[in-house]
């Protein structure tokens, strides 16, 4: 399993490293701070000495490339708007074609993602079905076919002679013991081999391919950067390991991992398009659409996939993303339907043909199933979380492949003994949802043996709960949907059988007065569907999307109201006991800085200054004319993702904020200029000459400046030029700083100019400077001059709401314009969830 990611943007880290602090003046010493208020680029960048920094130049990095950082949604959306405005400003035919291509890019990516996701899902379905059936037998004439394809075209009641079990292959019917031993041995051997191969693939080639992937997708779509999680190697290994894991018989599903696979496809599809890969917000819009496609092909539920992306996955879901998700899900579903991997000609995987007449007395068992599903969901989540903590504390995580191999061996030995666990989970769910009017290969409808069937169903549900709790989270691709669906369906079918037996034993009771006289009052298959919905609702806490997914999954339009009721009761019950679903629990276990928009924060007595990182512990850049080499040294020694810009390190008056990538870009442009040298000073404010002839800035007194060196700007930054228009500014009255200076001079008896006199113009180009001052460069075009800034006395409730609704990465905290500290997303995460994760 991959290690916990260091996702800190503050003094809080995601591992158990010791917290470090800076002592002394930031302008004199750039110490190594592994637990810095801002993100580090990596451990390698924090050990560079000052001497090497002064003789090195930095190559600009790509934006959003730091694993463990997070994007600023407002900034990313602003970049997208600026780029669109730049394209719209292009004239002529070139402008028309540029606008057309710019508008078409996301749709090309969405369609490609849908087609590729549908094709991959079809291949995975075919491969996993064949490998699952291979544990039980083989097609005599065509060994590469699954049992369904081998026996296609036959009536369900006919015997398929083309399919042979391994016992029949090894020995004839007279050697019963040899047949049983051969069947048992091959079943266990193949289960262990498939699980070992899948886990080995994951641990050797792509550690990020383990688990379901949905918690990480939620965090990524929340703005978090996780380098390598969506890489092509992760896509390949998860696509290969998933069918092996499903076919091994471990208690897991393929639905969640298919969402991860789809997002990997979407990330790969947008890479050729610079406008998409270079903008974190637009990239996440594509990933939201890809997640919808993943659910669409996993369940054959395109509408459910769109709602899943809206309700469960995405943090920000604009209207354009909804439309793109719909198109991507539909394209993926059409591709899946065209290939038809199950040879059924329809998308519904678990068709429910039974119709249900509403009878009042059934509300009681349905409500009980909903309550049981909520309680079971909470219990399962706690059981799974405790096993994960035990895995970490006992050192079991150091032997991931061995753990999976032992789990596969134990699961195979136990599962073979119970018929409802021996068969693949998907096939079991099909039979649990099947009405008694259809073929019944496993005796679920035998009324004479109902007690034994009910007992076996409860045993299977309990055993699968324990096996799923220890399997989900191991180093193998594993989903939670199908196991939860199976467990809930087993319990629901058992309850339905019990209700049917009670009705048969007491047909004249007043409770069953609404039932027809000829029998057929209770339909256990309906109870199975309701039980499955309750279990899924309790473990995932999904609501609308879950109902739609189950409706599309089963085609059971007659029991949609019952499904809604069961999901509602299950969620109410589970939320009353515990607020976190399985995905939120794993986000907390993995210590990701994720702010859940569904959870309200209510602690009015806590202020921002109680949580913030103090300004004395921050690394800032100032408007004091730092040289290019000095700023490059800061970047080499400090791996932060950005720096507050202050007027001076002494007064810490906030001028703005500059990101690491933007600062590197500005320095790279300065290095390209023939006039700039390593000692050329850099300023973060525009120069204005005050009334007494000294050189100041619009923000206050700074060192004297000479001539500004013009730097080439990108078109998107051209509007933010650092050169002031002297002609437009000369007619203005004195600035606030000038007025203050005049007042002070008048009080001291010094000569002062009248307040109404305009500010002096700069000396002409031919005039000699008053004194020898160096030329300088302006980094204002690369700086955010209006970062989100709050008072340090702001209640934390307001701060949390701003982070949740605006998608902020950090806020600066000030008092009367003076920097007092910073609050980051990780600060909020640790504050809300406490420090219990750090002790694990």
pLDDT of residue 439: 79
pLDDT, tens digit, for every residue of 578-606? 888 999 999 888 888 788 777 777 776 78
Q: In what order do the strands lie in the sheet with 613-614?
A: 613-614, 818-824, 810-815, 789-791
Q: Which of 367, 368, 362, 375 is nearest to 524 (CA)?
A: 362
CB 405 within 8 Å of CB 200:
no
Dihedral angle sign, alpha carbons of residues 653, 654, 655, 659:
positive
What's the DSSP call for residue 779? -
Report CA-CA distances (Å) from 499 to 337, 443, 529.
Answer: 38, 17, 15
Is 421 within a domain? Answer: no
Helix (H) or strand (E) holding 826: helix 825-833
HSE, CB side, 13 Å, CA atoms: give it for residue 292: 33
Same domain, yes or no, for 43 and 191? no
To which H or E segment does residue 413 belong?
helix 400-415
Distance CA 410, CA 390 (A): 19
CATH of the domain at 188: 1.10.3080.10
Which position has the token pair 């009405």? 435
Same domain, 241 and 180: yes
Q: Say how far apart CA 636 and CA 286 lie, in whole Å.
A: 34
How are beta strands 818-824 and 810-815 bridged, if at all? antiparallel
User: Is residue 758 located within the same domain as residue 810?
Assistant: no
**Residues 653 and 647: beta-carbon distance below 8 Å:** yes
Give the β-pairing of 642-646 and 621-622: parallel
Q: Give Cβ neighbours of residue 583 (< 8 Å, ≥ 6 apart).
A: 214, 215, 218, 312, 540
Give me the domain span that covers residue 726.
Answer: 686-776
Helices and strands (H and E) in the chain: how many:
30, 14
Q: What is the pLDDT of residue 11?
A: 32
585 shares its domain with 470: yes
* Residue keyed to tokens 């996780």: 226
| The 626-627 sheet, strands edge to edge | 626-627, 681-683, 777-778
Evaluated on CA atoms 272, 275, 278, 279, the torsion sign reads: negative
Distance CA 260, CA 235 (A): 8
Q: Is 68 left (phi over 0), alpha (psi -120 to 50) or beta?
A: left
pLDDT on residue 766:
41
Q: Is the dihedral of CA 311, 313, 314, 317 positive or negative?
A: negative
Beta carbons within 8 Å of 550's beta carbon, 6+ residues apart: 304, 529, 532, 533, 536, 556, 563
Same domain, 699 and 554: no
- H or E, element range at 293: helix 280-299
Distance CA 740, CA 733 (A): 13
For the beta carbon of residue 99, count every other beta carbon within 10 angstroms.
14
The verdict on residue 297 lying in a domain is yes
Which residues, in sequence order, are bridge partners of residue 626?
A: 682
Q: Does residue 791 sit in the same domain as residue 819?
A: yes
Whether residues 398 and 532 fall in one domain = yes
Asked if residue 836 is part of any domain, the answer here is yes
Q: With contact defined as beta carbons under 8 Å apart, do 567 and 537 qualify?
A: yes
Backbone torsion region of residue 293, taken as left when φ is above 0, otherwise alpha when ψ lies between -120 and 50, otherwise beta: alpha
What's the DSSP call for residue 837? Answer: G
Q: What average pLDDT does the structure give for the chain?
A: 80
Map residue 103 onto helix, strand or coil. helix
Q: How many CB atoms lie within 10 A of CB 351?
A: 16
Residue 557: how many CB atoms within 10 A of its CB? 9
Q: What's the CATH code of the domain at 676? A: 3.10.580.10
The three-state secondary structure class of 11 is coil
Residue 90 lies in a domain: no
Among residues 259, 278, 258, 277, which one has the least CA distance to residue 268? 277
| Any domain includes 347 | no
**Do the domain assignments include residue 400?**
yes
DSSP 360-371: GGGHHHHHHHHH
Cα–Cα distance, 373 to 455 (Å, whole number):
18
Q: pLDDT, tens digit, for every residue of 525-578? A: 899 999 999 999 999 999 999 999 998 888 878 888 899 999 999 999 999 998
Q: What pLDDT score does 772 carry?
A: 67
Beta-carbon contacts of residue 813 (< 8 Å; ≥ 6 apart): 608, 609, 612, 789, 790, 791, 792, 794, 819, 820, 821, 822, 823
639 and 627 in a single domain? The answer is yes
Half-sphere exposure of 158 (CA within 13 A, CB side): 9
Is 640 domain-assigned? yes
pLDDT value at position 65? 38
For the CA atoms of 434, 440, 444, 447, what is the dihedral angle to 10 degrees? 120
Beta bridge partners of 795: 607
By residue count, the chain amounts to 840
The span from the CA of 643 to the CA of 821, in Å, is: 12
Backbone angles phi, psi at 563, to 5 degrees: -65, -45
Same domain, 398 and 489: yes
Q: Are 648 and 626 in contact (CB under 8 A)?
A: no
C-alpha span between 284 and 316 (Å, rounded): 9
Do 549 and 304 contact (CB within 8 A), yes or no? yes
* Within a domain: 80: no
The model carries a pTM of 0.80
- Evaluate whether 22 touches 31 at the Cβ level (below 8 Å): yes
As a whole number of Å, the end-to-end CA separation of the chain is: 16
pLDDT at residue number 383: 96
Q: What are phi and psi of 731, to 5 degrees?
A: -80, -5
250 and 133 fall within a common domain: yes
Distance CA(70)–CA(65), nearest Å, equals 10
Predicted confidence at residue 807, as pLDDT, reads: 79
- Pick from 372, 356, 353: which is nearest to 364 by CA? 372
List the one residue out of 472, 463, 411 whose CA is nearest residue 187: 411
Are 295 and 172 part of one and the same domain? yes
pLDDT of residue 41: 35
Domain boundary among 754, 776, 798: 776
Q: Among 730, 759, 776, where does a domain finish?
A: 776
Percent helix / strand / coil, the chain, rounded to 5: 55, 10, 40
118 near 334, Cβ under 8 Å? yes
Which of these three, 737, 755, 776, is where a domain ends? Answer: 776
Q: Give CA–CA dist 626/494, Å, rounded.
A: 75
764 and 799 fall within a common domain: no
Counting as low any pLDDT under 70, the low residues of the chain are 1-68, 156, 354-356, 518-519, 604, 687-704, 714-772, 834-840
- Looking at the 3D structure of the chain, how many domains does it have? 4
């Amino acid at each position: 399993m991959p290690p916990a990611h260091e996702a800190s943007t503050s003094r809080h880290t995601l591992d158990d490293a010791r917290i470090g602090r800076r002592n002394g003046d930031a302008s004199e010493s750039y110490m190594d701070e592994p637990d810095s208020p801002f993100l580090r680029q990596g451990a390698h960048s924090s050990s560079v000495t000052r001497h090497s920094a002064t003789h090195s130049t930095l190559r600009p990095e790509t934006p959003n490339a730091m694993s463990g950082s997070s994007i600023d949604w407002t900034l990313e959306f602003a970049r997208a708007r600026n780029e669109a405005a730049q394209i719209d400003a292009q004239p002529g035919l070139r402008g028309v074609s540029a606008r057309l291509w710019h508008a078409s890019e996301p749709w090309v990516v969405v369609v490609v993602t849908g087609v590729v996701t549908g094709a991959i899902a079809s291949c995975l379905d075919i491969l996993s079905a064949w490998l699952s059936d291979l544990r039980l037998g083989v097609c005599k004439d065509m060994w590469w076919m699954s049992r369904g394809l081998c026996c296609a075209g036959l009536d369900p009641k006919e015997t398929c002679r083309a399919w042979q079990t391994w016992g029949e292959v090894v020995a004839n019917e007279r050697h019963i013991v040899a047949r049983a031993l051969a069947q048992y041995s091959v079943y266990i051997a193949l289960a262990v081999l498939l699980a070992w191969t899948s886990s080995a693939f994951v641990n050797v080639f792509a550690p990020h391919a383990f688990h379901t992937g949905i918690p990480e997708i939620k965090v990524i779509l929340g703005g978090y950067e996780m380098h390598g999680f969506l890489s092509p190697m992760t896509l390949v290994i998860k696509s290969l390991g998933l069918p092996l894991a499903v076919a091994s018989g471990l208690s897991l599903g393929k639905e969640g991992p298919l969402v991860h696979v789809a997002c990997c496809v979407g990330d790969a599809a947008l890479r050729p398009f610079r406008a998409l890969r270079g903008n974190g917000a637009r990239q996440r819009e594509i990933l939201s659409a890809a997640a919808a496609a993943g659910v669409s092909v996993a369940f054959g539920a395109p509408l459910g996939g769109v709602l899943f992306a809206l309700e469960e996955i995405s943090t920000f879901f604009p209207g354009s993303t909804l439309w793109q998700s719909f198109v991507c899900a539909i394209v993926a579903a059409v591709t899946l339907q065209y290939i038809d991997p199950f040879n059924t000609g329809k998308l519904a995987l678990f068709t429910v043909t039974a119709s249900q007449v509403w009878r009042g007395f059934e509300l009681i068992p349905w409500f009980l199933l909903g309550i049981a599903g909520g309680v079971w969901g909470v219990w399962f989540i706690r059981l799974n979380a405790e096993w994960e903590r035990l895995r970490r504390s006992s050192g079991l995580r150091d032997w991931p492949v061995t753990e999976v191999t032992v789990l596969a061996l134990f699961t195979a030995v136990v599962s073979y003994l119970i018929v409802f666990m021996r068969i693949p989970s998907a096939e079991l769910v099909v039979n649990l949802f099947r009405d008694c009017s259809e073929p019944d290969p496993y005796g679920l409808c035998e009324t004479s043996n109902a007690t034994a069937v009910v007992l076996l169903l409860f045993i299977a549900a309990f055993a699968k709960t324990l096996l799923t709790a220890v399997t989900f989270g191991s180093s193998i691709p594993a989903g939670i949907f199908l196991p939860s669906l199976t467990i809930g369906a087993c319990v629901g079918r058992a309850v339905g059988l019990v209700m049917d037996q009670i009705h048969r034993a007491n047909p004249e009771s007043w409770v069953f007065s609404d039932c027809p006289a000829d029998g057929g009052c209770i339909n256990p298959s309906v109870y199975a569907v309701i039980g499955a919905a309750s279990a899924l609702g309790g473990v995932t806490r999904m609501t609308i999307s879950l109902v739609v997914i189950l409706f599309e999954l089963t085609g059971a339009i007659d029991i949609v109201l019952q499904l809604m009721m069961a999901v509602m009761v299950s969620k109410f019950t589970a939320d009353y006991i515990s607020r976190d679903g399985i995905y939120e629990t794993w986000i907390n276990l993995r210590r990701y800085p994720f702010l859940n928009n569904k959870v309200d924060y209510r602690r009015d007595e806590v202020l921002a200054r109680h949580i913030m990182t103090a300004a004395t512990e921050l690394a800032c850049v100032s408007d004091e004319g730092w040289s290019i080499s000095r700023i490059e040294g800061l970047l080499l020694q400090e791996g932060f993702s950005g720096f507050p810009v202050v007027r001076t390190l002494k007064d810490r008056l906030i001028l703005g904020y500059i990101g690491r990538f933007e600062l590197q870009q500005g320095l790279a442009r300065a290095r390209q200029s023939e006039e700039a040298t390593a000692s050329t000073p850099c300023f973060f404010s525009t120069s204005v000459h005050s009334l007494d002839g000294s050189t100041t800035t619009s923000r206050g007194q700074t060192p004297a400046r000479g001539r500004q060196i013009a730097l080439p700007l990108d078109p998107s930054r051209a509007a933010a030029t650092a050169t002031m228009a002297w002609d437009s500014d000369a007619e203005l009255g004195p600035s606030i700083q000038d007025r203050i200076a005049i007042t002070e001079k008048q009080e001291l008896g010094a000569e002062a100019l009248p307040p109404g006199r305009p500010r002096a113009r700069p000396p002409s180009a031919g005039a000699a400077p008053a004194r020898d001052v160096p030329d300088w460069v302006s980094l204002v075009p690369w700086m955010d001059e209006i970062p989100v800034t709050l008072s340090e006395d702001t209640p934390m409730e307001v701060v949390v709401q701003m982070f949740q609704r605006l998608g902020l990465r950090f806020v600066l905290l000030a008092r009367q314009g003076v920097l007092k500290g910073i609050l980051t997303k990780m600060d909020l995460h640790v504050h809300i969830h406490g420090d219990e994760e750090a002790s694990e």
